[in-house]
Amino acid sequence: MKKSNDFVYSIIVRVVFIIVALVIWEVAARQNLFGENSEVIFPTLGSIGKAFISNFTEGYAGISFWVYISNSLRLLVTGLAIGVFASFILSGLSMISRGFYHIFNLVVSIFDLLPGVALLPVIIIMFGIKEEVIILLVVHAVIWPMSRNVLDGFMAVPKIYVEAGTNIGLKGLSLLTGVYLPAAMSYIISGLKVGWARAWRGLLSAEMIFGIATCPGIGMYINQMRTNMNNAEMYATLIVIIIIGLVVQYGILTPIENCTVKKWGMSK
């Protein structure tokens, strides 16, 4: 009873906050704070709403907004998949070879310090401007934090699970998949969270710095809206970015957590 009251309260507080924030926005937008062109710079909720819909119905320069979204997501998913897969392989190898562990640990520590965007010029000089460059950036964003977490997770696996595992005949790969992976699950999930967040930010930044004409993405769309002073569309695109973030968080990451560490009573 107490708990459900708390829940209702938390919902009410949030809804009230959002309504107040929107009202303030709308009032401010109607004050023409930015002079005569204020409506363009600081659009009302109504025009942002309209832009939100027209984004999808009309797109820009004959290209549907869906194309921009799907391009961005395709690069993101490809990069994430490669990055996560590679970090499992490399962390797994680190568990097999002591020498490899030390080297990989060093490499992770160094590259984890480099923001992807800072690497962009180097990558562009080497590979030119193409979509693989963005995928590379996403891989870079996810592979180091993911590996760091997987490595830490593997190292933190209680000895008793490993011994119970070897006792029932697990060794090598079967020990890795049968004991180390599930036992390190809470670390793996934190790695995914950090990795995806960095990858998504890195991807949008890269798309804004250089749009790839053959593969236009959301970052590029915002830039195009800015150059055309379609500011309402710009704001509407920001909302889309937030929605994508929410979907990933609550549609993918939280369910993964719920059916693994939460269900197993293993959440940190």
Beta bridge partners of 60: 63
Sketch the per residue contact string, 1 through 20, with other proteins: x for CB under 8 A, - otherwise.
--------------------
Phi, psi for residue 161 in degrees, rounded to 5? -70, -40
* CA distance linking residue 11 with residue 5, whole number of Å: 10
Query: Minimum CB separation from other proteins for residue 256, in Å?
Result: 13
* CA distance linking residue 117 with residue 240, whole number of Å: 22
Residue of 44, 161, 194, 210 that binds other proteins (CB under 8 A): 161
Query: Minimum CB separation from other proteins for residue 87, in Å?
Result: 20
Check residue 266 for interaction with other proteins (CB under 8 A).
yes
Query: Minimum CB separation from other proteins for residue 263, in Å?
Result: 7
Check residue 177 for interaction with other proteins (CB under 8 A).
no
Which alpha helices (H) appear in the chain, and where do they start and end?
Answer: 2-29, 38-41, 45-58, 65-96, 98-111, 116-127, 131-155, 159-167, 173-175, 181-183, 185-209, 218-227, 231-246, 254-257
Residue of 129, 155, 170, 197 that binds other proteins (CB under 8 A): 170
Check residue 174 for interaction with other proteins (CB under 8 A).
yes
Residue of 8, 89, 107, 164 that binds other proteins (CB under 8 A): 164
Identity of the residue, 69 or 261, whose beta carbon is nearer to other proteins in the bound complex: 261
Q: Among 113, 199, 185, which residue's Cα sits nearest to residue 149?
A: 185
